[in-house]
Each structure stands twice: as structure tokens, then as C-alpha cells.
């Protein structure tokens, strides 16, 4: 144990924790990032002193290319592509961890003790499935892979078989580290497992998947730490794992579903039940022109905007902000209600609205603002669907019953901007759309908002 | 069960609790920057990959190490930069005081 290296690792770990603590408030967050950057610098500096390193050539080349790609990616990617970007970087994290594990096994396979072999297997398993799983998640978000939940017969059963097979192989390698064939088979099955686990999960459940993959990437890094006897890896991996875990719990709770249900339950199929549809039968949607919508908004004193994934698709965040500003100039109080699972990743709507220059003190979490709807004159729903469906509150036969939803139905009036009458992700009718207080304006949210702004009095 | 494993488990579990406590305090407002941020931190795999890429154990290890350093560096550099780019956008209302 080299004391200099260990000391640098210790400083790095402390800085990581302090950096994360900074993220507790928007004011201190950027300082936190800088602290963690120093933490990473210390950890890397310590590693460069490692006695096994004989040449810096490949390290330097890879670091330069990697930095170039990293800088380009972070500078060029539009905020609307953030879920894709996050999914892709989970893939890189998983890949790096898996490769380190493979090399460790390749070089030391025969001399490994049980614990190291177990740690390496775990690392390759989680790293591998994070890699392919994140690539599939990326593909789904990007539209390369169909975003709908893809299901086939005996899906869960076959996944469980594959999973048990992987665990069995992991145990075998741990018990007998000389089983290299089993080890490499396990690696391939881990890659396969990543694909199998994510492919059935639909687009709107992506926030949970992305958070969970975040957690897996962390666990893989921690396992690397166990394999190498390296504490900064264990600590950083544990922090990462905890973060992903917390986010997935928050996301699942916001959908009133268990982990198991998100991962193994095909959501869309439940929506076919006739009971869920029956409620709105015979009721008609009232369509409002852009002028009507503008009139409603002009007459309001308190407006709550409820954005959903549709706002991201239409890239309507700037138009939303512009409308909000115009209304405020006219003395209207404007706030935003952010549902935790609106969009395709945790916090998606916040980032888009912040990008469009909406001050963060106007963005409210669902719990904070949900009692305000009854005092609001207008709830303006921009591309949200399931997160505003009142059926979740009272219709026990609805597949989304129990999920927390925005109380748009309690506002004086509700304007829904929507592309078409298609059902939302859950495939169920939304009774908000047929409620007496609601008017709907169809079309591209961005175009609609822009014409509403022109029509404001 | 070696002392080394126990030591590692202590570190892992306690770090997990610290992470749980600290990250539980991050407001939902910042959940996306949080993910980008932990992405950058997960680039800590760099620590493992650097040794492999520089140790010249054999060609196989060097190539895999090279790819691993590349992937991890993208995460570290890209992750920190994009986190900062996002955080820069979060601003208060001018003159607002909440």
C-alpha cells in the first residue's frame, strides 16, 4: 500500500461526498461540481503513480480522444436530447467497468482467490448488462429501437431462466476461479440479459430504467473496487449506486408502482380492460380555438402550467416561457407544476424549462402545488396525459389508480394542448379531456402556443 | 472471509448510507443534473482502467484498457461539463427573493 496514493484517494473520496452535498441546493450546486472535479483529479493523480504503469502513451492518447468526445458531446447536445445522452453515458460507464473486470480475469484468472473472483464476476455481470441495457434504452429514446413495450410469450419466464443461469455461472466462477470458459460465457449472457431486461419496457417507464441503470453502473464500479482493493472505487461506486437507487424509488412511487411491476409488468396491456374506457363513453371533447384559449388565459389571475413529454417532443419550452412572461406582464400569476415522472428521465421538465429561462422558483413539485389548483383560474396542460388523469384518484378499475396526478380537474378551467386524441402511454382514456371544465386545442404545442401568444389581449 | 473483504464491506456500506443521506437532500428540481453528475463520478472506473492501459501486461489487456480509459474519460469530462452547463441554466427570478 502506497501512502501517497491512498492519501490522494482519500481526499478524492471526501471531495466527491462534499460535491454531492452541494447539489442539495441550486445555489451551491456549481460549487459542488467543482469540488468533485478536484476529487476526480486527485483520484486520477493517485492512479498515475501506480507502480504497475510502465508507459503513459496509451493512457494519454485515450484520455485526449475521450476528452475531445466528452467536450464535443456536452457542448453540442441539445437539452431535449438529455435522456439519450444520460443513457449513453451509463453504457460507457458499464463498458469501462466490464472491460477492467475482463482484463483482471484474463491476467490473474488462475491465481484469484474466491472473493476477488466473485467481485470480478459481479463487476462483469453488472457492467455488461448496464452496457447493453443502456444502449437499448438509448435506442428506444432515440427511436432506433421501437419505444413501445415489446412483449412475447413466456418473456418473464425466459428472463428469469437467463438470470438464474447467470447467477449460477457467477457462483461457479467464484467457487472455482479457473473456470475461464464459464466466465466468458457469463460475460456474453450478461450482455444478452441487458437487452432482454430493457427491451420489454415502454418509453414512459424510461425514467425508472435510466435511474436503475445508473445504480447498476455504480454497483459495477464498486465491485471493481473490491476486485482491486481500491477504496475510492468502492466509495464512488456506492455513492453512484445510492443515487440511482433513490431516483428509481422516487420514480416508482410517482407512478404508484413497485420496482417489480415496472421491470416485469407490461403496462400497456392492462389498459385494454373495458372498465377503464367505459367512463368517458358518450361524452364529447370540447375543442377550443387558439383565440378562445387566449381569451381564457387573458381573463385569469392565476395560471398553473402542467408540462409533459409532449412539450419536450414539440420543443415547446421556449414558447411556454414566452407565454408565461406575457401573462405575467399582464399581472397574471404563473407557476409550473412538475410531475416527477413527466418526460423521459428524472427532472426532465425542470431542465427544459430552466433552459428556456424559466426561473426555478416558479417550478414546483407536484406535492407542493397540488392544493393550489382549486384556487387557479386556468390549468394549462402542455403535452401531458396520464399524469393529469383524474381517473387515478377515483376510478379503482383504472390501471393507473393510486398514482399521484396533478389536480387539473379542480382548476376553474383547463386548457389541454395536445397533438391528437391518441391515448397516452398507459393506453387509457383520459376523463379530464371530456370533463365540463376542459377545452382542448389540437396541434403542435409549439405552434399553438405561439399563436395563443399573438392572440393575447 | 478475509479482513480485506470486511474492510471493503465497511467502506461500501457506510459510503452507501452517506450517499443515501446526502442524495436524499437533492431536490427533484436538480434530479437530471444529479444523474449527469453521478455519471461523471462513475467515470471513476478510470482509476482501474488507467493501470491496465499503462501496465503493458499484454496486447489484449492494453487494447481493452485503452477502450476502458476512453469510455471512462468521456464520462468524466462530458459528465462534469454537461452538469455544469445544466446548472448554469437554473436561475432565480430577477429580483425575486424566495
Give the CATH number for residue A306: 3.40.50.1220
pLDDT of the residue at A363: 94
From the CA atom positions of chain B, what is the Rg in Å? 19
Tell me whether residue B2 is in a domain: no
Tell me whether residue B19 is in a domain: no
Query: Which of A57, A76, A95 is a domain's end point?
Result: A76
Give ipTM to 2 decimals.
0.94
Do the beta carbons of residue A307 and residue A362 sit within 8 Å? no
Task: Report helix, strand or coil for A422.
Answer: coil
Tell me whether residue B81 is in a domain: yes
Q: Is A442 in the same domain as A308?
A: yes
- A384: its cell numbers: 401531458
How many domains, chain B? 1
From the CA atom positions of chain A, what is the Rg in Å? 25
**Distance from A281 to chain B by nearest Cα, in Å?**
37
Q: Is A69 in the same domain as A85?
A: no
- Inter-axis angle of helices A114-142 and A82-108, to 10 degrees? 150
Q: Is A401 in the same domain as A432?
A: yes
What is the domain range of residue A9?
1-76
Do the beta carbons of residue B74 and residue A73 sit within 8 Å? yes
Whether residue A66 and residue B77 make contact (CB cut-off 8 A), yes or no, is: yes
Between positions 69 and 98 of B, the ones with CB within 8 A of A are 69-94, 96, 98
- The conformation of residue B88, written as its DSSP 8-state character, comes to H
Q: Is A381 in the same domain as A428?
A: yes
Query: Which residues in chain B touch residue A77, judged by CB atoms under 8 angstroms apart?
Result: 82
Looking at the partner chain, which of B5, B38, B76 has a beta carbon nearest the beta carbon of A115? B5
Q: Is A223 in the same domain as A285?
A: no
- Check if A386 is active-site: yes
Q: Is A326 in the same domain as A372?
A: yes
Alpha helices in A23-151 (DSSP H): 26-48, 57-76, 82-108, 114-142
Query: Which residues in chain B touch residue A1, judged by CB atoms under 8 angstroms apart?
Result: none
How many domains, chain A? 3
The beta strand positions in A72-187, using DSSP E, are: none
- B31: its cell numbers: 434530479
Looking at the partner chain, which of B39, B51, B61 has a beta carbon nearest the beta carbon of A47? B51
What is the domain range of residue B44?
28-89
Q: Is A216 in the same domain as A109?
A: yes
Do the beta carbons of residue A228 and residue A104 sit within 8 Å? yes
Q: How far is CA A254 from CA A75, A264, A424, in A?
A: 32, 18, 16
Q: Is A260 in the same domain as A292?
A: no
Do the beta carbons of residue A236 and residue A97 sit within 8 Å? no
Query: Which residues in chain A touch residue B52, judged by CB atoms under 8 angstroms apart?
Result: 100, 103-104
Q: Is A24 in the same domain as A143?
A: no
Query: Which of A237, A267, A297 is a domain's end point?
Result: A267
Q: What is the pLDDT along chain A (457 residues), one digit of tens a residue?
A: 789 999 999 999 999 999 999 999 999 999 999 999 999 999 999 999 999 899 999 999 999 999 999 999 999 988 888 889 999 999 999 999 999 999 999 998 778 888 899 999 999 999 999 999 999 999 988 888 877 777 777 777 888 888 899 999 999 999 998 888 999 999 999 999 999 888 888 777 888 888 899 999 999 999 999 999 899 999 999 999 999 999 988 888 888 877 777 666 544 343 333 334 444 455 678 888 889 999 999 989 999 999 998 899 889 999 999 999 999 999 999 999 999 988 888 889 999 999 999 999 999 999 999 999 999 999 999 988 888 999 888 888 887 888 899 999 999 999 999 887 766 666 677 889 888 889 999 989 999 999 999 988 7
Tell me whether residue B43 is in a domain: yes
Q: Is A248 in the same domain as A131?
A: yes
Query: Which of A234, A267, A300 is a domain's end point?
Result: A267
Q: Is A396 in the same domain as A344?
A: yes
Tell me whether residue B83 is in a domain: yes
What is d(CA B83, CA A405) in angstroms, rounded to the nearest whole number? 29
Tell me whether residue B70 is in a domain: yes
Q: Is A235 in the same domain as A338?
A: no
Amino acid at each position: 500500500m502506497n501512502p501517497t496514493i491512498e492519501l490522494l484517494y482519500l481526499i478524492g473520496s471526501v471531495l466527491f461526498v462534499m460535491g454531492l452535498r452541494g447539489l442539495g441546493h441550486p445555489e451551491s450546486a456549481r460549487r459542488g461540481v467543482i469540488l468533485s472535479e478536484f476529487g476526480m483529479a486527485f483520484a486520477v493523480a493517485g492512479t498515475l503513480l501506480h507502480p504497475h504503469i510502465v508507459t503513459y502513451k496509451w493512457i494519454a492518447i485515450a484520455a485526449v480522444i475521450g476528452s475531445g468526445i466528452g467536450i464535443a458531446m456536452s457542448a453540442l447536445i441539445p437539452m431535449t436530447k438529455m435522456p439519450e445522452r444520460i443513457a449513453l453515458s451509463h453504457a460507457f460507464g458499464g463498458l469501462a467497468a466490464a472491460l477492467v473486470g475482463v482484463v483482471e480475469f484474463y491476467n490473474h484468472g488462475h491465481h484469484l482467490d474466491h472473493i476477488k473472483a466473485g467481485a470480478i464476476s459481479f463487476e462483469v455481470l453488472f457492467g455488461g448488462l448496464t452496457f447493453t441495457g443502456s444502449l437499448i434504452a438509448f435506442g428506444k429514446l432515440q427511436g432506433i429501437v421501437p419505444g413501445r413495450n415489446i412483449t412475447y410469450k413466456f418473456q418473464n419466464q425466459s428472463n428469469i431462466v437467463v438470470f438464474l443461469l447467470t447467477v449460477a455461472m457467477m457462483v461457479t466462477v467464484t467457487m472455482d476461479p479457473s473456470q475461464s470458459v464459464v466466465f466468458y460465457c457469463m460475460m456474453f449472457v450478461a450482455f444478452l440479459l441487458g437487452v432482454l431486461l430493457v427491451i420489454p419496457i415502454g418509453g414512459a417507464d424510461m425514467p425508472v430504467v435510466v435511474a436503475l441503470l445508473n445504480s447498476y453502473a455504480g454497483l459495477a464500479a464498486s465491485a471493481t473496487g473490491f476486485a482491486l482493493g481500491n477504496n475510492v472505487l468502492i466509495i464512488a461506486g456506492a455513492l453512484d449506486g445510492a443515487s440511482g437507487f433513490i431516483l428509481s424509488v422516487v420514480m416508482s412511487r410517482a407512478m404508484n408502482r413497485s420496482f417489480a411491476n415496472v421491470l416485469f409488468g407490461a403496462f400497456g396491456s392492462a389498459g385494454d380492460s373495458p372498465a377503464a374506457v367505459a367512463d368517458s363513453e358518450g361524452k364529447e371533447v370540447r375543442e377550443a380555438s387558439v383565440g378562445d384559449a387566449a381569451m381564457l388565459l387573458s381573463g385569469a389571475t392565476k395560471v398553473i402550467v402542467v408540462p409533459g413529454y409532449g412539450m419536450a417532443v414539440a420543443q415547446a419550452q421556449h414558447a411556454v416561457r414566452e407565454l408565461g412572461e406575457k401573462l405575467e406582464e399582464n399581472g397574471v400569476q404563473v407557476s409550473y407544476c412538475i410531475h416527477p415522472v413527466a418526460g423521459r428521465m428524472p427532472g426532465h421538465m425542470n431542465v427544459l424549462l430552466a433552459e428556456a429561462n424559466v426561473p426555478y422558483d416558479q417550478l414546483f413539485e407536484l406535492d407542493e402545488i397540488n392544493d393550489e389548483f382549486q384556487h387557479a383560474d386556468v390549468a394549462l396542460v402542455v403535452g401531458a396525459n396520464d399524469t393529469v388523469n383524474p381517473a387515478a384518484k377515483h376510478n379503482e378499475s383504472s390501471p393507473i389508480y393510486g398514482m399521484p396526478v396533478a389536480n387539473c380537474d379542480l382548476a376553474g378551467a383547463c386548457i389541454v394542448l395536445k397533438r391528437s386524441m391518441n391515448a397516452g402511454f398507459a393506453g387509457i382514456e383520459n376523463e379530464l379531456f371530456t370533463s365540463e371544465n376542459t377545452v382542448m386545442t389540437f396541434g403542435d404545442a409549439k405552434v399553438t402556443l405561439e399563436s395563443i401568444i399573438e392572440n393575447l389581449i | 472471509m478475509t479482513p480485506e473483504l470486511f474492510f471493503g464491506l465497511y467502506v461500501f456500506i457506510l459510503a452507501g448510507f452517506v450517499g443515501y443521506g446526502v442524495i436524499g437532500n437533492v431536490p427533484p428540481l436538480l434530479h437530471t443534473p444529479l444523474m449527469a453528475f453521478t455519471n461523471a463520478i462513475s467515470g471513476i472506473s478510470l482509476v482501474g482502467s488507467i493501470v491496465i492501459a499503462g501496465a503493458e501486461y499484454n496486447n489484449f489487456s492494453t487494447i481493452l484498457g485503452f477502450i476502458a480509459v476512453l469510455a471512462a474519460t468521456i464520462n468524466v469530462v462530458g459528465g462534469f461539463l454537461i452538469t455544469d452547463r445544466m446548472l448554469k441554466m437554473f436561475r432565480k427570478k430577477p429580483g425575486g427573493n424566495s
